[in-house]
Structure 1
C-alpha cells in the first residue's frame, strides 16, 4: 500500500519565521498545489512558474491595486487619503492595458538599455567614490546603510535631476511612500505621514518639471519633456504622478538587490571565488539573486472578471498573490533550483516580472547592482559578514529586504 502524502499545512506569510525564510514553505505549497485558495490570506496563492506566467499574460488578471491599498488605510486617516490615492491611480504599475501601455510609452526610450548604458561610467565612478568614503578597510559597518541604500539613491537622483540640496527631503518622502505601498505602515500616525509624504513628493516633482521646462538639463525629466509626449499622449498631471512611481522604485529594489547579492556570495565561498576569478560573473551573481532571493517576493493582482485557472474558478474581485519567489524555484523550469549558480543559463527568471508589466527600470537596477557587487568583490577582498546568523528582514508580503547587513570591511 502506498503511504498517503503528508497533509499540507498553510502558514501565515507575515509570521516571523516566514519573513526570515519563506522558501521551504513556498516550495511545499507549490508542490501541494501551484494554484491554492488561502482562507488565511483571502487570496489565491499562485506559486508555479507556468501558472504565474499565465496570470501575467491574462487580460482578466488586473494590476489595479489602488482599491485594496485604500481599504488598508485606518478609518481615521481616510480623510487625508483622497489626493494620495489619486496619485497612486496614475502609477502605470497599477494600470492595465491600454492605459498602461499609453503611460509606459512616455518613458520607454529613456529606460531602454542603450539609454541607461550611457550612465555606466558615471555609475562606476559613483560606486568607487561611495565605497572609498564608507567602506574603509578595517572598519565594521552596515553595508545596507553604507552602500546598498546611498548608492542607488545617488545615481537615481542624478539621473532624475534632483538638486543635491533637495536630496534629503526627496529620499525621506520616498521612504515613507515605500512604507505605504509595501504595507509596512501600521499605525494611523504612520499612515498619515506616508500619505502626506506622497502628496509632498508630487508637489516637489511638479515644481521640478516646471523648472526643467524653463531650463532643460541632461536628466530624465528634460529628456522626456523634449520628446513631446507630455501634453499629448499623457497629461502633465499623469506625467508627474508617474514620476512619483519612478522616484519610489528607483532606490528600493536596487538597494535590496545589492545587499541580497552580497549576502548570497559571502555565504557561498565557492561562488564568491568564481566571481573573484572572473569579474564578468558579477552579472551572473545579480541574476541568480533575482531568481533565488530577489528583492520582490510577489505581486498582487485582482480578477477583473470570472476566469478559470488550473481547473479553479476565480470570481471577479478575487485577489491573487503571484508568488515569483516560488515560481523562480520551480524544478519544472530550473535545474537544481535551490542552488545558487553564477554561471546558470537557460530559463528566464521572473525577478523583474514579465510581459506588459516587466519592470521598466530593470536595466538601471542591473547597471547599479552589477557595478556595486563587482567593485566590492574586486576592491574589497577582505569583506566578511559580521554576524550572518543574526540577520533580520523587513516584515513585508511584497519585498525581501534586510533590516541591516553588518560587515567587516
Structure 2
C-alpha cells in the first residue's frame, strides 16, 4: 500500500532559513498549488510561471501599493510620511496604465539598448578602476563592499549626472530609501530616517534638474530635458519623482546581480571554467542568475477587482505576491530548472518582470553586471570564496541580497 503524500506545510517567508534558501519550499509550494491563499502572509502566493505571466498581463492586477507601504509606517512616524508617499506615488512601478505608460514614455529613448550601449566602455574602465582600488590579488576582502556596490554607484552616478562631490550624500539617501521600499526598516527611528532621506533625495534631484536646464550635460537628465516631454507629457514634479525611483532601483538591483552571479559561478566549477574559457559567456551567467537566484524574489500586487486565476477567486483588494523566484524554476517552462547553465536558451525568465512593468533599466543593469563579471573572471582568475557556508542574506520578502561576500582575490 502506498503511503499518502505528506501534507504541505506553509512556512513564513521571512523566517531565517527561508531568507537563507527559500527555493526548496517555493518549489514545494508551486507543486502543491501554483495559486495559494496564505493566511500567514494575508496574501495570494502565485508561484507558477503561467499564472505569474497571467497576472503581469491582466489589468485586474494592480501595481499600486503605496497605500500598503503607508500602512506599515509606525503611528509615530506618520506625520513625516505624507510628502514621502506623495513622491512614491509618482514612481512608475506603483502606477497602472494609462498613467504608467505616460510616465514610462518620458524615459523610453534614454533607456533603449542603443542609448545604453555608449556606457559599455565607461563600465569596463570603471570595473578595472574599482578592481585596482579594492580587489588586490592575494588580499582577503568583501566583494559586495569592494566591487558589487561601488561599481554600479560609479556608473549610475555618471549616467544621472551626479557630481562626485555629491555622491556620498546621494548614495546614503538611496540606501535609506531602499530600507523603506524593501521593508527592511523596522523601528520608528529607521522609518523616520528613510522617509526623510526620500524627501532629501527629491529635493536634491529637483535642484539638479534646475541646474541641468541652465547647464545641460551628457547625462540622462539633460537628454530627457532636451526631448521636451517634461512640462508636456509629465509635470516637473512627476519627472523628479521618477528620478528618485531611477536612483534607488539601479544601484540596488545591479549590485545584487553582480554578487549573486559571482557566487553562482564560484560554487559551480564547471560553469566557472566555461566562462573562463569563453568570457562572452558572462552574459549567459548573468541571465542564469536572473532566472535561478536573481536580485528580486517577488513583486507585490493588489486585485483591482474580482478575478479568477487557476480556478481560484481573488477578491478586489486582495494582496497578491507574484513569486518570480518560484516561477523562474517552474519545470513546466524550464527543463532541469534547478541546474545553472550559462548556455541555457529557450523560455524567457521573469527576472526583470514582463510586459508593461518590465524593468526599464534592464539594459543598463545587464551591461554593468556583464562588464563586472567578465572583468572579474579574466583579471582575477585566482578569486575564491572565503567561507561560502557562512553567507548571510538581507531579511526581505522582495529582494535577494547578500550582506557580504567574503573572497580572496
Displacement after TM superposition at 1:2 (Å) = 4.5
Is 2:30 the counterpart of 1:30?
yes
Q: Residue in 2 aligned with 1:383?
A: 383
Q: Residue in 1 aligned with 2:95?
A: 95
Q: Residue in 1 aligned with 2:113?
A: 113
Superposed, 1:130-169 pairs within 5 Å as 130-169=130-169
Distance 2:390 2:400 in 1: 16
Q: Residue in 2 aligned with 1:355?
A: 355
TM-score normalised by structure 1 residue count:
1.00
Could you list the per-position Cα deviations for residues 20-79 of structure 1 after superposition, in whole angstroms to 9, with x for gaps in the alignment? 000000000000000000000000000000000000000000000100000000000001
Distance 1:395 1:182 in 2: 9
Give the secondary-structure state (helix, strand or coil) at the position aligned to 2:330. Answer: coil
TM-score normalised by structure 2 residue count:
1.00
Superposed, 1:160-309 pairs within 5 Å as 160-309=160-309
Could you list the per-position Cα deviations for residues 91-113 of structure 1 after superposition, in whole angstroms to 9, with x for gaps in the alignment? 01000000000000000000000
Distance 2:183 2:290 in 1: 21
Could you list the per-position Cα deviations for residues 223-244 of structure 1 after superposition, in whole angstroms to 9, with x for gaps in the alignment? 0000000000100000000000
Distance 2:307 2:272 in 1: 46
Give the secondary-structure state (helix, strand or coil) at the position aligned to 1:155. Answer: helix
Displacement after TM superposition at 1:6 (Å) = 1.4
Could you list the per-position Cα deviations for residues 377-404 of structure 1 after superposition, in whole angstroms to 9, with x for gaps in the alignment? 0010110001101000000000000000
Q: Residue in 1 aligned with 2:366?
A: 366
Superposed, 1:306-317 pairs within 5 Å as 306-317=306-317
Displacement after TM superposition at 1:3 (Å) = 3.4
Q: Residue in 1 aligned with 2:123?
A: 123
Displacement after TM superposition at 1:83 (Å) = 0.2
Distance 1:19 1:293 in 2: 12
Structure 1: runs of 5 or more not aligned: none
Could you list the per-position Cα deviations for residues 310-351 of structure 1 after superposition, in whole angstroms to 9, with x for gaps in the alignment? 111111100000000000000000000000000000000000
Displacement after TM superposition at 1:4 (Å) = 2.1
Q: Residue in 1 aligned with 2:344?
A: 344
Displacement after TM superposition at 1:132 (Å) = 1.0
Structure 2: runs of 5 or more not aligned: none
Is 2:320 the counterpart of 1:326?
no
Distance 1:269 1:358 in 2: 32
Q: Residue in 2 aligned with 1:396?
A: 396
Distance 2:98 2:275 in 1: 43
Give the secondary-structure state (helix, strand or coil) at the position aligned to 2:107. Answer: helix
Distance 1:3 1:386 in 2: 43
Give the secondary-structure state (helix, strand or coil) at the position aligned to 1:221. Answer: helix
Tell me the matched-pair count: 409
Q: Residue in 2 aligned with 1:67?
A: 67
Distance 1:217 1:390 in 2: 45
Give the secondary-structure state (helix, strand or coil) at the position aligned to 1:321. Answer: strand
Distance 2:164 2:250 in 1: 16
